[in-house]
Structures are given as C-alpha cells and as structure tokens.
Amino acid sequence: MNNIIAPTAQYLSDMGHEVDLFLLYEFDHFKPEADYQNPEDIRFNIKRIEMEFAGVMQLSTATLKENFEGYDFYIGTDYAPALLARIGKKIDLFAWAGTDLFDWPFYKSAYRIPQLWECNLYQTAAYQYEGIRAAKTLPMSVNNDFISHAIHKVGAAGRIIEPLPFMYYPLLKEINTIDTPRVKRMREIKDSHDFVWIQQSRQWWKTAPSHITKGNDIFLSGVASFISKFPEKKIAIVLFEYGADVEASKKLIEELGIASHVHWMPTVLRKEMLALLSMADLGIGQFGSESWYLYCSNAEILATGIGYIGYRDDAFYLKKGMTLYPMFNCNSADEICDAFETYIHDKAHQQALAEEAQLWLREYNEKKFLENIEEIIADTKSSNLPMNALLRLRWMRLKMEVVALINRLVLLSRSEFLRKKVLEWPVS
C-alpha cells in the first residue's frame, strides 16, 4: 500500500463511508499502524489475505470473490488491478507506486517459449495490464516523461487527478509528542551540530536503474564538497540502513572522507520518521536523470515544514500549468553544495519558504483530494471489465495452457536435445 492507501481509508472513514483495507504482504513500516501512536484511532477495518509477493495467480477466484465482491468502490495500488481483473472487476482509483505501472504489466521471457514457472508471471502481467487500462481514475503526479510514456504504453484511459494523500495530515500535530530512543538520539545530534540534513529514502543508486535511482551518491558528493569548503561547520548527515545499496553508500562515505559526519539510523515506522524529519534543517530527496514533482518521501519532508532539496524539471511542469512550490532545485554535487551554502547564510528566509511549501502541500494533496473524491465516488459507470479485455485475458490463459503443456511434454521426454531446442530457444 506504500503508505498512501491507509491515509485515504482514514479520510473516507471520516466522511462517513464504511471502509475495508486489505493487507496482502507488507513491510512493517508501510502498515497502517506505522502512522498511528494509538491504534484505536484507526477508523477503518483492516482485513488480511495471505498472499506472497507477485502471488496473484496463487489465490483462487473463489477466494477473490469471497473477499472482494460486494463493494461500491475500489481503491488500490501494487497488484490491486490484477487481483480485481481476475474476477472481472475494474479498479476505480489506481494509485500506482512505480514498478506496478511501468514494469509488471510488461513481463517478457528470455525464451521464445516461456518456462513453465513463467506462465503465472505472464498471466499476472496480462491481468495487471488490463486492470490498469480499465481503471476509471489515476490519482498521480505526472512527474516526468518516463511516467507519461508508461501511461501511454499501457493505454490507460482513466482520468488523471491529483495524487491520493501521502499521509493522514491531521496526525502531524502529534509528532512532537513522540519520544523513542531514535528520537532522543536525533535530539542529541541536533543539539551538538550546527546543521542537520536527513535523507530518509532508501539507499539505491549503485544497483538502481538510472531512471529511478535515488541519487544518494550525488547527495553524498555534494556533502563532501560542502564540508571541504566549510570545515569549521559542524554538519550532521542522518541516513537509514534501508535499501539495496547501504553497504555501497558506507564505502562511498569512507572514500569521500565524511564518515565522522554521518549518523546511521535503523528503519523506523513513519510516525517516528516524521518526528526525526521535523528536527532536521533540510530534507534530501532524490537526484538523477528523472525529475520528480511530488512523491512519498518529499511529501514527508514538505509536511514537516523543513527545507527540501531535490531535482525538479521546472520547465516541464510550467508547460503543464502546475504550481511550483519553494525548494532547492539541484541535480549535481556542486549545485547541492551551493544550496547548503545558501541555506546556512539565509536560514530564516529559507525556513519561511519551507513553511510556504508546507501550505502548498496541504492544498494540493489534502484539500484537492477531499474536493475530488465525492464526485468520483458518485460515478456510477460499470465496475465490470469490458468484453474486449475479458476476451484478451481468456486468450492469454489459453496460450499459457499450451505453453505449460509443451513444457511438461518436453520435460517428460527427458530429451536433452528437445530441452535445448524447445525450452531454451532464446529470443533473438
């Protein structure tokens, strides 16, 4: 659910709707409880279905119908479009998280005849593809051309609106009451340094595809440049041991000579994360080839009222008539170093700009949602997948049945020649 479905559930419950939120598989820091100090404040129903990641085909249609039939309105992320498509249902609001939009619907085998274990992946991709195509509404920030291309590639025809709330914003008033060992440690870091900069997104730059890298290496290089230029300043960098490239980042930090400035934290729940962010001077987003307008991590930074540094292609958004909130717009080590220098020499003004960005966020990501949602819920268009989509899915299932049969016959033959010529025939 990527920390966006549960906040929506809470807002809808506040509006008087009866809301069920289904958890399939989820990290602890993305569960609803991650946002609430008092679990009894959660006003929607939490239901669970045992499902492995990518296990769309592992669930029987009987199980899916038993759980998902009978609702007036469907909101989801991740594999939600595929799960609903399996029982012939459309998703009303598809709030994509990333790879569920631009990767999963397009699974391709390295072989002309897919392997037996790939049959479920092909069918999952087909259900995801048709589910997204049929989605009535796509709440999203069209962050860059890469995302625009993904929407076009999948053929999604749904109405694009502002993204779902990245958090339940009324909870922000409670973050100053959180007192944990990590919060105490952050307070000590703040009290013993001139400036504290925090990057809460995962460490993912060494192994990440270039279009979705977090750019942690660019940020760390900017830090090294600043420290070299202003060695008298007591700077603290707070990072989290979260992501595939934590060890690569630790090695880079040693190479850059800034290890004494870096403080590593464990992965924490978001209620604690927001408290940590609120004590920093600047929050760090991501850098790289793609521009980002609003996503979960920078929404968390803006929400806490601290300055934000990241990369945003302003010309791209101005052409679309979008409002530009105040931020430090950087995409290189030198630009990041310059932003740090501007901040330390102009802290009061930069703090005022951060508060302006905070107000923009509540307008764009909370007020707009509340204005849109009742109108969208009132839409009485059919919730069933169109006939042409159902026919395409049926054709895919038949093809995979044939593929599975070919695999089984070749394996039963125990012929090394057939296995190499048939099952290991590569796509040229």
> Is pLDDT larger for residue 25 or for residue 220?
220
Measured CA to CA, the distance from residue 51 to residue 166 in angstroms comes to 24
Residue 380 pLDDT greater than 80, yes or no: no
* pLDDT class of 407 with cuts at 50, 70, 90: very high
pLDDT of residue 30: 83
Map residue 45 onto helix, strand or coil: strand
Contact 272, 178 (CB under 8 A): yes
326-356 burial, b for 16+ CB within 10 Å, e for fewer? bbbbbbebebbbbbbeebbeeeeebeebbee
Compute the average pLDDT of residues 46-54.
Answer: 90
Residue 3 pLDDT greater than 90, yes or no: no
21: which strand partners? 46
Tokens 């939600």 belong to which residue? 80
User: Hey, what are 288's tokens?
Assistant: 């790289």
Q: What is the reported pTM? A: 0.92
Contact 36, 271 (CB under 8 A): yes
Mean pLDDT of the chain: 94
Contact 127, 86 (CB under 8 A): yes
Rg of the chain (C-alpha set): 24
Tokens 């008539």 belong to which residue? 321
Tell how many helices (H) and how many strands (E) occur in the chain.
17, 12
pLDDT of residue 349: 96
Helices 387-413 and 119-134, axial angle in degrees (round to 10): 170
pLDDT of residue 322: 92
Measured CA to CA, the distance from residue 310 to residue 219 in angstroms comes to 9
161: which strand partners? 139
Query: Among 114, 14, 81, 125, which residue's Cα sits nearest to residue 402?
Result: 114
User: Hey, what are 239's tokens?
Assistant: 């990072």
Compute the average pLDDT of residues 68-91.
Answer: 95
Largest CA distance in the chain: 76
* pLDDT class of 141 with cuts at 50, 70, 90: confident
Contact 272, 295 (CB under 8 A): no
What class is the 170-375 domain? alpha beta
HSE-CB for 160 with a 13 A CA cutoff: 13
pLDDT of residue 1: 56
* pLDDT class of 144 with cuts at 50, 70, 90: confident
Residue 342 has φ and ψ, to the nearest 5°, of -60, -40
Residue 408 pLDDT greater than 80, yes or no: yes
Compute the average pLDDT of residues 337-363.
Answer: 96
Lowest mean pLDDT among 255-264, 288-297, 374-383: 374-383
pLDDT of residue 26: 81
Helices (H), 236-367: 246-256, 270-278, 296-303, 314-319, 333-345, 347-362
* pLDDT class of 166 with cuts at 50, 70, 90: very high
Question: Taking the CB of residue 149, how many other CB atoms lie within 10 A of it?
Answer: 11
pLDDT (tens digit per residue) in 271-324? 999 999 999 999 999 999 989 999 999 999 999 999 999 999 999 999 989 999
Report CA torsion sign: 104, 108, 110, 111: positive
Q: What percent of the chain has pLDDT over 70?
A: 100
Helices 296-303 and 270-278, axial angle in degrees (round to 10): 50
Map residue 384 onto helix, strand or coil: strand
Helix (H) / strand (E) element for 263: namely: strand 262-265
C-alpha dist (Å) from residue 97 to 27, 78, 316, 380, 424: 14, 6, 21, 26, 34
Measured CA to CA, the distance from residue 293 to residue 160 in angstroms comes to 15
Q: Where in the chain is the domain with CATH 3.40.50.2000?
A: 170-375
Residue 76 pLDDT greater than 90, yes or no: yes
* pLDDT class of 139 with cuts at 50, 70, 90: very high
Question: Taking the CB of residue 106, how many other CB atoms lie within 10 A of it?
Answer: 12
In the sheet with 282-284, reading across from the earlier edge strand, the strands are 262-265, 235-240, 195-198, 282-284, 307-310, 328-329
pLDDT of residue 418: 94
Query: In 89-240, which ranges are E strands?
Result: 93-94, 137-139, 159-161, 195-198, 235-240
Compute the average pLDDT of residues 81-99.
Answer: 94
Amino acid found at 316: F
